[in-house]
A and B are shown apart, each in its own frame.
Chain A
Amino acid sequence: MTENTSGTAGQQPLLAIDNLNVSFITPRGTVDVVRDVSLALAPGKALALVGESGSGKTVTARTLVGLNATNARVTADRLDVLGHDATRLSERQWRGLRGKDIGYVLQDALVSLDPLRTVGQEIDEALRAHGVRGKAERQERVHTALRDAGIPDPEVRARQRSGELSGGLRQRALIAQATVLNPQLVIADEPTTALDATVQAQILELLAGLKQQGRGLIFISHDLAVVSHLADEIAVMQNGRIVESGRASEVLSNPRHEYTRQLIDAVPSAAGKGTRLSAVPRVSVTSRPTRLSAFSDAAPALEARNLVKTYASPDGTRRTVVDDVSFTVPAGKTLGIVGESGSGKSTTARIALGLTEPDAGTVTLGGLPWVGHAEGTASVLADRGVLPDHGVLVDRGERRGRRASGLTGLTGLTGLTGPAGGRRARGATAATAAATVTEDLRRPHRPDIQLVNQDPLSSFDPRFSVGRVITDALDAGAVGTPGERRDRAAALLGQVGLPLDLIERRPLTLSGGQRQRVAIARALALQPRVLLLDEPVSALDVSIQAQVLDLLADLQEQLGLSYLFISHDLGVIHHVSDDVLVLKDGRVVESGSAEAIFTTPTTDYTRALLAAVPDMPERQAAVVVPGAPSAQNEAGAGR
């Protein structure tokens, strides 16, 4: 079964594909997924397949290793893979090619390597499947493969499982298992999508190394910025067709197809705050009932002072996860928190939400003591929690009036004069006080700060309809009558740019972008003043990400919301933030205005982060005429 096919490298193209069609036979009929795709790849070259989810990239790639689902029907005028007519290969012949001549690298190594087996066993399996006898030889080759993939201490790592490795090492191990037999063709399907920017840069470098060794590389991504440095050729796919293809520099600097332009515009790093990334129309908020709240618009929306959080490790030592973190989110502005996995971003977010008690430090929400304040100040919150008609829909004018009639006067931590009773805060250093704001005091104010997650699906009850997901939030706030809540849910869907007929659908049947919009609608249901956005676009394709970022910008502008925006993606952070906080190992490495941090970073760490961001070659901004390919001047295509 190990027929030798590697003698022909050099001259012959690795791939020659004309008019590839792949369709799936389903009980409801035939679905065409790939249509008239033609590709060619020479040794030592990299071809990038770019497009959003569902565009047929992955199905095309799997056709090249003969691993499509059993109900797939593949036809092509020509489908030459490494000199074989792939339409005629038997399963046995395919097995001889897979792993040996074609390496296939998947997205997330945590699930793409068997979590119950060691990395070494996984690599060894490829060697055994292709008839490498001799245990010592195999072990030697496993270690070599790991070392070649840039993994230090391969002898140790080979005995670990994917769950024990960091994201970067894990992805390297995944590449090692696909390339241990030195295949001529390597197919990488979104190999960096789940990774931090610096790790992504390392993996891209490793893949570039494979290319330099003379292998052909097929690289699949939804992100043009990622492929721009690696690809020689780019094929842009949409709805199963290649809509544009050509030399990478040409496609990126002078895109001819409308869709390619959308993809390029969607890359947030290329455009600062205020630029629209997508072509979807702006949402406009027409009806805007406002909720009476003690939240002060004069004070910073969210202010954290000297947060510290430590956790006990299994071995008994204490690990400091958040170490003296302070930040301010000014009202109506966005603070971006950027950092790699494990930098303490999410713990900081949990503290800001009042879900995790910090060991020390305070959080103030719209001038209100929110987390960890001294006893005296906490009681102010209690006094404010007993507003007579809290939670009732009243209009903004009325609310203003109420505030003027006695709710102003919140001046800060020291010298607080509570409206009822004039109680004074003892001890201005709230961080040292033992007594804290309790959840009972916080709960009436929870509507003021809401959360949007990375993965909305797991935070939806799958049995709920979209409408119920949203009204559920309103039920929690006991707002209005059931009929009013349904109307409100419908209005919220409109606010986030979703059609009304989605209200009866289940979250599972929605696309990723639609789900995230529902999550935003749910967060907006209780009319929060602050949204905490934890990696809200990280699971989305670049083009969908662009739409969601635009939506968030519209909502901020029209509702005056304040955002705490957490992301590992510097491009996204650059695009959305007024101010930026860079976290590393729980400490603030750098903070300041987005402008300052992205143009004149002062620390090496920030500079390294910025250097790792895949930047797009510049393209001359042009007025896009929808549909029609427009002639464009050759822009300064810096590669």
Chain B
Amino acid sequence: MSTSSLDSLSAAPRTTATVGSAGSVILRRVAGSVFVLWAAVTLTFFVLRLTPGDPVTAILGGAGSSPSPETVAAVRAEYGLDQPVLVQYFSYLGNLVTGDFGVSYIFKVPVVEIIGPQILPTLQLAGLAMVFAWAIALAFTLLTVGRGRVLDGVGRAVEVFSASLPQFWVGIMLAVVFAVILGWFPVAGNDGFKSLVLPALSLAIPLAGFIAQVTRSSFDDALAQPFVLSARARGLSDTAVRITHALRHAILPGLTLSAWAVGSLVSSAVVAEIIFARPGLGRSLVDAIVNRDLPITLAVVFITAAVYILVNLAVDLLYRVVDPRTNPKGSAA
């Protein structure tokens, strides 16, 4: 009906950022993240517990071994598995609050000792993949958007193509071309920046396709805005207008997408980690799930959720730097 748009003229910016001053946003987000972490851990805990199979079997060396009933009972008591599930759950939560992730069923050592050294390589990998993805997407946007129909069409096609590439295929291709044939980068391993480039690229290229699709349309919209014409009429070159005006508008929706992407990068890092034989959380997670190593699985889920929350908070704060209209102080009128 026609009765709904009387106040359609409100000039509020389109934004995904949380409303409020930076301080209050951090406060509210921290409160929210405690809840999210709890929910992630709780859900994982019960889902893993409800899947068939006895954890004790995993602790005692898998389905192939045949331990005596006494051993089983002893282990069950040692790991507290003889208690009701709810009691186990609350004692796990209690330990978690003090930073104790428990003891690995397989390796029989505290989870922190196993996971700890693997956090950094994965974060490095995900972080560099993010940087590469943005660099590729932005360069691509700047070069092809609004440069005539041919370049525009080529740009679009390349974006869809790279967005639909499977990461493992990209990884293998990169390894074959740049490591095996050209020998520019090491094939595998984890020593220094050089060994990080190919794994990061294999995650970055498909992601760049996604980001570029989003930035392309917003860049296109921005270029059609009258303020671009105003800037050109002030004597700015086309390139200067693209960089100083349109780009800033174009990256806003991409930022929102990135918050989601980092979370998924941490979990999809396993692909690159396996192909390039790197240590990392992703590999640990897969191994832990296969071996039913509950404490490690829970710890990885916890860390992934934490990274996801932190990145979203960072993007939220970054958003108000790029778009000052989000800040209530900046929109007093």
Task: Point out residues on A near B: beta carbons under 8 Å.
Answer: 65, 67, 70, 91, 95-100, 102-104, 106-108, 110-117, 122, 125-126, 129-130, 160-161, 163-166, 174, 177-178, 314, 346, 349-350, 353, 355, 446, 450-455, 458-459, 473, 476, 519, 522-523, 534
Q: Which residues of B contact A450 (CB under 8 A)?
A: 2-3
Bound: A209/B323 CA distance, A: 35
Determine whether B225 belongs to the interface, using a CB cutoff of 8 Å to chain A.
Answer: yes
Bound: A106/B233 CA distance, A: 10
Determine whether B182 belongs to the interface, using a CB cutoff of 8 Å to chain A.
Answer: no
Interface string of B216-258 (1 = CB under 8 A from A): 0000000001110111111111001000110011000000000
B333 touches A164 (CB 8 A): yes
Determine whether B1 belongs to the interface, using a CB cutoff of 8 Å to chain A.
Answer: yes
A95 touches B11 (CB 8 A): no
B248 touches A451 (CB 8 A): no
The answer to whether residues A163 and B234 also contact, given A106-B226, A114-B227, A346-B6 and a CB cut-off of 8 A, is no
Tell me the minimal C-beta distance from A561 to chain B in angstroms: 15
The answer to whether residues A104 and B333 also contact, given A116-B322, A473-B2 and a CB cut-off of 8 A, is no
In chain B, residues 36-85, which have Cβ atoms closer than 8 Å to a Cβ of chain A? none
B235 touches A129 (CB 8 A): yes
Q: Which residues of B contact A522 (CB under 8 A)?
A: 2
Contact of A178 among B5, B233, B323 (CB under 8 A): B233
Closest to A346 in B: B6
Q: Which residues of A contact B117 (CB under 8 A)?
A: none
Bound: A115/B225 CA distance, A: 11
Q: How would you classify the secondary structure of chain B's contact residues: helix, strand, loop or mixed?
A: helix
Contact of A98 among B9, B234, B322 (CB under 8 A): B234
Determine whether B29 belongs to the interface, using a CB cutoff of 8 Å to chain A.
Answer: no
Interface hub of A111, A450, A519 (most chain B Cβ within 10 A): A111
Tell me the minimal C-beta distance from B150 to chain A in angstroms: 13
Tell me the minimal C-beta distance from A99 to chain B in angstroms: 4
Q: Which residues of B contact A353 (CB under 8 A)?
A: 3, 6
Determine whether B116 belongs to the interface, using a CB cutoff of 8 Å to chain A.
Answer: no
Closest to A535 in B: B9
Tell me the minimal C-beta distance from B7 to chain A in angstroms: 6
In chain B, residues 245-279, which have Cβ atoms closer than 8 Å to a Cβ of chain A? 245, 248-249
A116 touches B229 (CB 8 A): no
Q: Which residues of A contact B1 (CB under 8 A)?
A: 473, 476
Tell me the minimal C-beta distance from B11 to chain A in angstroms: 6
Determine whether B86 belongs to the interface, using a CB cutoff of 8 Å to chain A.
Answer: no
The answer to whether residues A111 and B227 also contact, given A451-B6, A473-B1, A523-B2 and a CB cut-off of 8 A, is yes
The answer to whether residues A459 and B4 also contact, given A67-B232, A116-B322, A125-B236 and a CB cut-off of 8 A, is yes
In chain B, residues 290-331, which have Cβ atoms closer than 8 Å to a Cβ of chain A? 322-325, 328, 330-331
A129 touches B227 (CB 8 A): no
B148 touches A70 (CB 8 A): yes
Bound: A522/B3 CA distance, A: 11
Bound: A534/B7 CA distance, A: 10
Closest to A97 in B: B235
Tell me the minimal C-beta distance from A555 to chain B in angstroms: 16
A350 touches B230 (CB 8 A): no
B233 touches A95 (CB 8 A): no
The answer to whether residues A112 and B226 also contact, given A163-B331, A453-B5, A473-B2 and a CB cut-off of 8 A, is yes
The answer to whether residues A459 and B5 also contact, given A104-B233, A129-B240, A163-B325 and a CB cut-off of 8 A, is yes
The answer to whether residues A355 and B3 also contact, given A99-B233, A114-B231, A178-B234 and a CB cut-off of 8 A, is yes
- 21 A-B pairs, CB-CB below 8 angstroms? A91-B237, A98-B233, A113-B227, A114-B227, A115-B13, A115-B227, A116-B249, A125-B234, A126-B234, A126-B235, A164-B331, A177-B230, A178-B234, A349-B6, A355-B3, A452-B2, A453-B5, A458-B8, A459-B2, A459-B8, A534-B6
Determine whether B31 belongs to the interface, using a CB cutoff of 8 Å to chain A.
Answer: no
Tell me the minimal C-beta distance from A49 to chain B in angstroms: 17
Other A-B contacts than A98-B232, A164-B330, 14 sampled, CB-CB below 8 A, are: A96-B235, A97-B235, A98-B233, A108-B226, A111-B227, A113-B227, A114-B230, A122-B231, A125-B231, A125-B236, A126-B234, A314-B328, A453-B8, A459-B2
Determine whether B27 belongs to the interface, using a CB cutoff of 8 Å to chain A.
Answer: no
Tell me the minimal C-beta distance from A209 to chain B in angstroms: 20
Q: Which residues of B contact A455 (CB under 8 A)?
A: 5, 8-9
Q: Which residues of A contact B6 (CB under 8 A)?
A: 346, 349-350, 353, 355, 451, 453, 534
Q: Which residues of B contact A451 (CB under 8 A)?
A: 2-3, 6
Q: Which residues of B contact A473 (CB under 8 A)?
A: 1-2
The answer to whether residues A116 and B333 also contact, given A110-B11, A450-B2, A451-B3 and a CB cut-off of 8 A, is no
Tell me the minimal C-beta distance from A95 to chain B in angstroms: 5
Closest to B149 in A: A27
The answer to whether residues A129 and B234 also contact, given A166-B333, A451-B6 and a CB cut-off of 8 A, is yes
Bound: A240/B225 CA distance, A: 24
Bound: A314/B324 CA distance, A: 17
Closest to A118 in B: B324
Q: What are the nearest 9 A-B pairs in CB distance? A: A104-B233, A99-B235, A99-B234, A126-B234, A164-B333, A112-B226, A129-B235, A98-B235, A114-B227
Q: Which residues of B contact A103 (CB under 8 A)?
A: 233
B3 touches A177 (CB 8 A): no
Bound: A116/B332 CA distance, A: 15
A95 touches B237 (CB 8 A): yes
Closest to B233 in A: A104
Closest to B226 in A: A112
Bound: A91/B331 CA distance, A: 37
Tell me the minimal C-beta distance from A531 to chain B in angstroms: 10
Q: Which residues of A contact B231 (CB under 8 A)?
A: 114, 122, 125
Q: Which residues of A contact B330 (CB under 8 A)?
A: 161, 164
Bound: A174/B8 CA distance, A: 24
In chain B, residues 157-188, which have Cβ atoms closer than 8 Å to a Cβ of chain A? none
Q: Which residues of A contact B11 (CB under 8 A)?
A: 110, 163
